[in-house]
Amino acid sequence: MDFEFYAQRVFVTGFTEAVEFYSKVFSREPEFSDQSLGWAEFNLGGAKLALERLDADSDEVKELVGRFVGISLQVEDVSQSYRELVEQGVKFTGEPEKQVWGGTLAHFSDPEGNVISLFSM
């Protein structure tokens, strides 16, 4: 059996706002987006980040929206990316920090509180 990674999902209730936010962060439009399906995909070079809309009244929202999602995106220079994104209004949980393993991390939040990590070596 062969497995191939397809996408990491980020759950949102405000679909249009999320697509606009991630389009700004990634400096690109999604390769697929359908408002009626509540699904959008950004190709990030070998893996996709997918936005999936949940009904704001669903029981899943409390568990899946507004959390640390466990996505780490590698960039060439975290400090430079941090400065550029802060200028665009992206909110970070703190400034970039050098890690004991040698890399540098910074975490940003989308408008619904989902937290994604940027890192560079």
Domain boundaries, the chain: 7-55+65-120
Closest C-alpha among 44, 28, 41, 25 to residue 107: 25
Q: What confidence tens digit (pLDDT) does each residue in 42-52 have?
A: 999 888 999 99
pTM of this prediction? Answer: 0.94
Q: For the segment 91-119, what is each residue's pLDDT rounded down to a tens digit?
A: 999 999 999 999 999 999 999 999 999 99
Tokens of 51: 């936005």
Q: What is the pLDDT of residues 68-93, one digit of tens each?
A: 999 999 999 999 999 999 999 999 99
Token duo for residue 10: 């980020």
Measured in Å, how far apart are the chain's first and last C-alpha atoms?
33
Q: Does domain 7-55+65-120 have CATH number 3.10.180.10?
A: yes
Structure tokens at 117: 């990590």
pLDDT for the residue 120? 97
